[in-house]
Structure 1
Amino acid sequence: MSSYDKLRPWTEIENCDCKEITSIVLVDILTDNPIHCFNCKNEIDPEFLKLDQKLVDDIASWYGVFQSLYNLWLNSGEYEEYAKEKLTNKNSQVNVEGMSVAKRLSAYYPSYYWWFSDTDDGELIYCPNCAKKLDPNVKYGTGKCEACNVVV
């Protein structure tokens, strides 16, 4: 198994077919690959981006943890509050690592980290990382913070 295979889907998916990739977002939309086009939100194969294998391994490692927490939150069982706290806390390991791999990914393409938010808590208007007002001019989500490269 290559590093790239860690982020390849086991079924057919919607790949990005934009003429040009201008930016990327790391997001869990219940697929095997968190690397998505910021414009169309479809998946992008990390091999197509020519990402180094260390970065691909680190993205896959972060994503495995993120998926685990997200699935615990979706389950709405006894781990829901624990998972939500980890997914929303700016100092939690999953968010620190997610921000780190998004920053490293920005060496290839401008990249954003899609920050988890629970819609039951209302719409975020401030960046969950730096508390600056979010720019609501986004195609997906409710806002972005250019200073932190975060999308909510």
Structure 2
Amino acid sequence: MTIELGPLGAYLTAAEATAADAVALEEAGYGAVWLAASPAADLRAAERLLDATSRIVVGTSVLNVWQADADEVAGSYHRITREHPGRLLLGIGAGHREVDAEYTSPLAKVASYLDTLTAAGVPADRVLLAALGPKMLRLAADRAAGTLTLQV
């Protein structure tokens, strides 16, 4: 599946983005809205914007793999794409690791997260990785549609 984002995109925080914002952006010719600030795994913020519009693509930028449960994200992805096929992109990344009793490398955590999404049927061509370093960029090339490099 080709990702059609158009020439313009907006970057909004998930907590503050409104349906009215998405409608105004769509009417102004924007092709995408990116939800920042680690959206919740239920993806309700993205769903709210998609429900209010007819063509704009909504992407997460980025879902924090330490906070957003991969199984819940996969379920949310399928729930939303049944109603809005081709209009949701999952941007995922290591973000800021929370205090955890067990250390896992960010690369290993992101790879494991991708394993879970893949096993749950989330297509790789709808996933982007927050990546700058060579190992994460290689993982993105091998397992995702591309990379997000803003604020990584």
What is the TM-score normalised by the length of structure 2? Answer: 0.33
Q: Which is richer in strand?
A: 2
Q: Which is richer in helix?
A: 2
What is the TM-score normalised by the length of structure 1? Answer: 0.33
